[in-house]
Structure 1
Amino acid sequence: LLAALFLLAGLLLAARDAGLPVRISPSLDARLAFQMQRAGVHAPTNAPAPSPELVKLGEALFWDPELSGNRDIACATCHLPTFGGGDGLAVSIGAGGRGLGSLRERASIREFVARNAQPLFNLGHLEWQNRFWDGRVFVDEAGRLHSPASDRLPPGLESTLAAQALFPVTSREEMRGHRGDTDTFGQRNELAMIDDYTLTAIWQGLMQRLLALPGYQALFAAGYPDLDPAQWDVAHAANAIAAYEISAFTFADSPFDRYLAGDRAALSPAARRGALLFYGKAQCAACHSGPLLSDQQFHNLALPQIGEGKGREQPFDLGRARETGNDCDRFAFRTPPLRNVALTAPYMHNGAFATLPDVIRHHLDPATGLRQYDPDRLHPTLELHNGPEQQAAILRWYTPIPTDGLRLTDAEFADLIVFLDALTSPSARHLEHLTPASVPSGLPPGGL
């Protein structure tokens, strides 16, 4: 059906552009089909389904605080199914924090994690080429994985998603903790004693922890039945975590996805008008393009500096420039995908906005949005660096984006919001059932 609409829309619009008489006005569906075709929209490609046993191992690893230095935080702590695969915070609270979701509090002596926890929805599609807000894990055209670990990246990783899973466990702020820390049981945190850049030693220490537990010995044996236990390494753990994330967080039943599959009734008239704006006048698809609704490129959107920043450039977080060394990449961050975006607030790399209308308004005039940013919704102990000097530094490297200066009527604005909501899968709205009753370590699933 959509192919026929593509053809009809193309013929009608080509005839109009050629100055030929066109007596039939293209339907909303025909115009939308044409715009979506121009934007390269199609259903994303699924990876092969992992085995149930591998998913079960990945589930345990994802939820178990045993993977953190202090045994107090799990992958799930910052990527909760009940918070849209994030944690509901502008920027995350890592090692040393207590509580889950938006109620989580940090230890007074610890920094916030520098960036917003990215949602986990639909991250297993084969079109994905890079990971993290700054793209520091990526695959090149020859299929080779690249990462901050360079040649220390363990062999056998099956995807960029698996490679990504290796790095939060090495970060002191996120999961590993700091020298001198003790764990939940009062024991010395041995992972925190390892030097920061000896990643292999950190990963080996983590595997020693896991394989000392009978529950993980059984899960690894089931997940990798053809391997001798002496061959199990951190790449197998990372592949299992990726398998679980793909199995648990991939959804294709949103109204938008059903429309792509040929169900014309899946999108309401308002959602179709919003989609026509998204792929047309509003130019959202200039960046949120293709099957992932992301160009996987990096853009400076003139966002305020929230939090302590990252690395030597504190209080700034220079984003992509930290990886490339190119000044033109300062304050640029990867375009986020949009499936289930209505569930994943707060938004942007630093959680600057609590609602989708706020995000859209900022895109219409980023420079003014930066200057007039209202920090009232931020955590009371979270620092905002948004004085004239900081604003000037960010705007120096800002290049106007396609939406800058765009005018939308109230009706168009409302239709655009309706379309963004139509990217939500009903199956993703209630994921409480994903929380396991227990994990092999016996620690609370999801962290303390």
Structure 2
Amino acid sequence: MMKRHKRTRTSARLLGLSAAVLSAGAAAFTYTAATGAAAQTEAAGRDAVPSSGATRMVRYDLGNDAWRLPQTGEPGELTGVVHYPAVLGAGRHPLIVMLHGLHDTCADRKADAARTAAERDGDDAAYEAANAKLSAWPCAPGTPALPNERGYDYLGRKLAAQGFVVVSVGANGINASSVTGDDNAAARADLINRHLRMWQKLSSTGKGELAGKFADPATGAARRVDFTHHVDMRHVGLMGHSRAGAGVTWQAADSHRGQWPKGVEVRAVAAVAPAYNVMTEDMSNYTITKTPFAAFRGTCDGQVGGEALWFAADAAKGNRSGFYQFAIHGANHNYFNTQWSPQSRQVAASDDAMPVEGHPGQCTDREGAAPARQLTEPQQRHVAATYLGAFFRRHLLGDTEPRLLALHQGKPIPPVLQADINAG
């Protein structure tokens, strides 16, 4: 029998924004700091690599079965989309690896329509048959894979413009696999380490599996990009959304640091709407005390409950490197990923927020909970990019700009950041 992990709540300091400030449905945030002052990272004081703000994008794809899940041997892809500064210059840029969570894997529109009809009619057999087509890996011949990793292009571009090399990797093989619970988080951590190993080889020698494998995402034409000695593998950041939020927490846990590839140091971890296995037997698999850690959740998240932040707080107990929690008012689960959001018109895209009867534009995450004005897709992504950018700049570049210090020390947000949020 699985034991339920006992929850403890940490004390919180509220970083509030008044209704007058929050125009156009922008967000309010709850901020929780680790006990004691956040430790300065080794990035503090180092020279940040200048960036012109211009960015470029390439893709690599080593195949749909280039990697095998360590738990089961099921096939997984090694693919990623890379956003990077157009001018890499002479220095090194911190690497940020982003990973998506659980979602359909195959963009089969007929199967999607059949599943919707089966759900409406209560036909379990038809539902399962359609679902099997949507969650297969590899996908059936002629059926394109759902590019879940492309859902963070907006974030990759903004981070690359700030001087980072950003790679969003595919995890459709894990989503289609039989692994669940802690094994699922462990598989995602293993996939992250696999990509980090390839990037470490490429950056240090210009060789390895990624050498000569970059292509234009739109045309597939080969693109030559020399990342040799331009990626700072000693300053790596991770962002995981949904199930991948649990995956990055697992990967960065104190007990798993020995599994990081040689020459790699993870300096900042962000879990966005993380879906943890709250029935875990061993909390040490998620405990992070040596790495700055941030957790985000929307108040209108229809898929992940408040346990996302409670669990993260438990995992970060004793973390003096910096622990931050953000409750984004009016944000749901899916809008963080453009492929999962209605405006994409992609298979299985949806708005998971719960509407409030009689109050158009208001949303919540459960019956009886306080409503909030729902953020639009662009607003939610602007808030995410603003705060994730600030977090990674602080801990990977040592950015001590006043507005970032205000963000990370619980002070009122300066007007410049309020204006940025309202612009979304």
TM over 0.5: no
**Larger relative strand fraction:** 2
**Larger relative helix fraction:** 1
TM-score using structure 1 length: 0.27
